[in-house]
Chain A
Amino acid sequence: MAESPAKPGNRAGDPGPARLEVADVTKSFGAVAAVQGVSFPLFPGEAHALVGENGAGKSTIVKMLAGVHRPDTGTLRVDGADVEFAGPADAKAAGIAVIYQEPTLFPDLSVAENIAMGNQPLSKLRQIDRRTMHDNAEKLFRRLGVPLDPTRPARGLSIADQQLVEIAKALSAEARVLIMDEPTAALSGVEVERLFSVVRSLRDEGAAIMFISHRFEEITALCQRVTIMRDGRHVATELVAELSIDDMIRKMVGRDLSALFPKQEVEPGEVLLEVEGLSREGVFRDITFNVRAGEIVALAGLVGAGRSEVMQAVFGVDPYDSGTVRFAGRKLKAGSPRAAMAAGLALVPEDRRQQGLVMDLSIERNVTLPRARKLARLGLLFGGTERRSAQTWTEKLQTKLGRLSDAVGTLSGGNQQKVVLAKWLATGPRLLIVDEPTRGIDVGTKAEVHRLLSSLAKDGMGVVMVSSELPEVLGMADRVVVLREGKIAAELTRAEATEESVMYAAMGQKVSA
């Protein structure tokens, strides 16, 4: 770390000039503005928290600072001078080290090599000086107080140890800015403490730290300053000491609710899905809830809380260790999507590209894929049957498309989502599980998807909606089940569910009256 004149005692007061400044930065991907006009400074000797809901634009900021993305407008300044990063190498050269949520080590190389990569000590003829390289790594580990063997391969390291190696990497590069994107998400309490003591000592030595976390207790324990983002915009940058957790949450969620998602009132019918005590080692524990016909139940919570995993286990894509899933009174066979489909469940997965659609196949083929067997005559699919069925459903969903024979990949995100929905609705399910149904699609299509879900519920279908978008959850759901770190944190009725109550439950804070 650079020997800069840090004044640890001075943190709350005038912090001096910023080491790194984000100035009015904007970044769009296609038509979606991920970050709009965000500014904040990172001061030496200070840890700065960046908070916001999922999709608020935090990761985009990280990637710009890492040199992966370039801002469309606005500038980044290091020590007061404008910088432009053509790639990650430039950011590294400017003294910025990034620790990603998923560590990015080279599994086949030794820990020492991972630390020294690109910066290896050289001896005669510019050969790598292995002895010095290993000694350096050992010195770093001693300084960090972790007993890691520099000669072992990075493969097989625990996430916590991988993160420590990443920190050692930052130290060896003499990084002066350390950016950590949710480093604690996968760590246990002890590991978090160890990480924090390391980060604290770096901070006190004068490094500027940017820390992203969803856990408020960590932010208050580590950070002096906090920047809050919402929907890609900058909301506030304040001293942590001057802000209560309540204030932070309010600033995070306080958007105007102009876009309402009304669900029609429906008298709930019989119980369709009963999940009882469902557990999977290390993923989720003791999940119990039910869904009635005509009801929309939202599964809310932060990314990584285990929402999708629960529903995939219910549908039989993933296994579970204990608990039962009943559908319409009958026990559902575990680990068999085929049985789930036969019983009348349908799952629209989160990741359209990976799980929901075969991008290169035609629209009609995609729509009829799960029913190919049923539509086939003597084991052969005839274009006519396929086309008629696809026609019916795409029309019902008002999908905008050229020809049914076009590849699905050519459609816009919203229309792709409609094709996925069509595909599953055509199987005639009684319970529809949708995972992030409106992620990455425009507002207009979003409303259509909401209207569709609402009318399906009205016709007596049960709907389970996994969603990270609070307005969607609040607008659509009859009941909200909030998950936090694999457990049910709260089950709220429509009346009880507000932005605050859901966020409090998701973050593990008590509801203040």
Chain B
Amino acid sequence: MTTSTLGAPAPHRSFVGGLLKTRELGIVLALALLVAYTAIDNPRFLSGQSIRDNLLNTAILAVMAAGQAVVVITRNIDLSVGSVLAISAFTVATMMSANQDLPMIVPIVVGILVGAVAGLINGVLVRYGKVPALVVTLGTMYIFRGLVYSWAGGDQVNADELPGPFLDFANDSVLGIPWLVLIALVVVGGVSLMMRNYRIGREMYAIGSSPQAAELAGIKVARNLIVAFVLSGAAAGLAGVLFASRFGTIDASAGTGYELNVVAAVVVGGVAVFGGSGTVWGAGLGALLLTVISSALAVLDINQFWQQAIVGSLIILAICADRLVAVRIARSLRKRDAHV
């Protein structure tokens, strides 16, 4: 890093340097290594079908990770997303099986709304109930799941009850890109843009960076926190629709345990667990990395048991890397100040 830049137009000077230092690059590199290694072992890993499968599998996780990233950046967490996915998926599937002719936009909107309401409940409880998000969303995780169970009972909605277009949606493409992937790209891109270039996004970072300072700075902390949880809920709701469309068979246990995958994707993607830093597209990359790891392990014929161990190690690695980078930055800044 250089010393003072007074007088020199600084802003975009460090774009390339900044990119090189980002955590996202580390993920891209890890991804490239993994793909290269696996492809050498088995070239079919790079076949169109294999890539397509990986992207489709990533899409649902990435949508949820985008919402989760916003929540984590504000120094909170949303553990209810797996259950919200189930509520949304079951609602939409039931609706579609009863009304075969609805256009695709209807289930998408309904799923997002269902998720948004769930997120609103979370946000209000966290903010006005003054209960930590970990506790609130752990609670709502069970409550929402319980609701689906009591509603669905042992029933499940099968693919043959769902309208064809709804099921085809998951496999259809526009311009060669599957709808699911396109939606994931739009969600991750849109939320990234909001977090990077809009006031509300920067305020989310500010809240996560120092909650007390955010209050004193006059930031609308309550509104922003609720927006964050609604976003996360809505993303999980949308993911529910995609889940229903992709898998066709929905019962009350849909998406069980997804919340941990989502949090893992966010953390591996470089969002600091204590808020304030990280990016949404990094979280999206995290989702991609986790998905590719699991399919690569299958291709490499490594026991699935190892997959969880590897994901676990990655999470710890990611957190250690954050810590290391923070210490490094602090040291280099101190050194620099000493020269001023």
Which residues from chain A sit less than 8 Å from chain B, CB to CB?
66-68, 87-93, 98, 100, 104-109, 113, 117-118, 120, 122, 126-128, 130-131, 134-135, 138, 141-142, 147-153, 155-158, 161
Contacts and interface: CB of A to CB of B under 8 A. Distances in A.
A113 B14 CA distance: 16
Given A117-B219, A152-B1, A157-B337, 8 more contacts: A68-B215, A92-B217, A104-B217, A107-B209, A107-B210, A108-B272, A122-B199, A131-B11
A142 B6 contact: yes
A88 B215 contact: yes
Contacts of A87: 218
Interface string B328-340: 0110011001001
B337 A109 contact: no
B333 A109 contact: no
Contacts of B7: 138, 142
B14 A151 contact: yes
Given A106-B213, A109-B209, A117 B202 contact: yes
Nearest to B213: A104
Contacts of B326: 155
B208 interface: yes
A106 B199 contact: no
B209 A108 contact: yes
B198 A126 contact: yes
B5 interface: yes
Contact of B206 (A90, A106, A128, A161): A106
Given A106-B209, A108-B277, A155 B217 contact: no
Q: Which of B9, B216, B329, B330 has the most CB of A within 10 A?
A: B216
B333 A155 contact: yes
A151 B209 CA distance: 17
A89 B218 contact: yes
A131 B11 CA distance: 6
A156 B199 contact: no
A151 B11 contact: yes
Pick the 7 closest A-B CB pairs, nearest first: A89-B218, A108-B276, A104-B213, A156-B333, A147-B4, A106-B209, A108-B209
Contact of A108 (B208, B218, B337): B208
A88 B222 CA distance: 13
B198 A156 contact: no
Q: Which of B210, B212, B213, B219 has the most CB of A within 10 A?
A: B213
B10 interface: yes
B205 interface: yes
B12 interface: yes
B202 A113 contact: yes
A91 B11 CA distance: 31
B4 A149 contact: yes
A149 B202 contact: no
Given A117-B219, A149-B10, A156 B210 contact: no
B220 interface: yes
Nearest to A103: B213
B306 to A, nearest CB: 35
Given A109-B202, A128-B198, A68 B216 contact: yes
Contacts of B4: 147-149
A459 to B, nearest CB: 45
A118 B210 contact: no
Contacts of B330: 155-156
B203 interface: yes
Q: Which of A90, A120, A156 has the most CB of B within 10 A?
A: A156
12 contacts: A92-B217, A104-B216, A104-B217, A108-B276, A109-B202, A127-B198, A128-B197, A147-B340, A151-B14, A153-B333, A156-B329, A156-B330
B327 to A, nearest CB: 11
Interface of A is mostly: loop
Interface residues of B, number: 40
Contacts of B218: 67, 87-93, 118
Contacts of B213: 104-106
Nearest to B18: A151
A494 to B, nearest CB: 43
Contacts of A88: 215-218
Q: Which of B4, B212, B218, B272 has the most CB of A within 10 A?
A: B218
Nearest to A123: B197
B337 A158 contact: yes
Contact of B199 (A92, A118, A151): A118
Nearest to A119: B199
A113 B6 CA distance: 17
Given A105-B210, A118-B203, A100 B6 contact: no
A141 B6 contact: yes
Contacts of A151: 5, 10-11, 14
Given A108-B209, A117-B202, A138 B6 contact: yes
Contacts of B340: 147
B286 to A, nearest CB: 19
Given A89-B220, A104-B217, A155 B329 contact: yes
Given A106-B213, A127-B198, A134 B219 contact: no
Interface in B172-228: 197-199, 202-203, 205-206, 208-210, 212-220
A68 B6 CA distance: 36
B125 to A, nearest CB: 22
Contacts of A135: 9, 11
A117 B214 CA distance: 9
A151 B56 CA distance: 38
A120 B202 contact: yes
B123 to A, nearest CB: 19
Contacts of B10: 134, 138, 149-151
B329 A106 contact: no
A166 to B, nearest CB: 10
Nearest to A107: B209
Contacts of A106: 205-206, 209-210, 213-214, 276
Interface in B262-280: 272, 276-277
B11 to A, nearest CB: 4
A359 B91 CA distance: 45
A104 B212 contact: yes
Contacts of A92: 217-218
Given A88-B215, A109-B206, A155-B330, A134 B6 contact: no
Contacts of A127: 197-198
A109 B9 CA distance: 19
B209 A100 contact: no
Interface in B1-55: 1, 3-7, 9-12, 14
A92 B197 CA distance: 23
A155 B14 CA distance: 18
Contacts of B334: 156
A109 B205 contact: yes
A214 B91 CA distance: 65
Contacts of B197: 127-128
B191 to A, nearest CB: 14
Contacts of B276: 106-109
Nearest to A126: B198
A179 to B, nearest CB: 12
Nearest to A85: B218
A128 B199 contact: yes
A66 B216 contact: yes
A265 B325 CA distance: 61
Q: Which of B11, B12, B198, B206 has the most CB of A within 10 A?
A: B11
Nearest to A87: B218
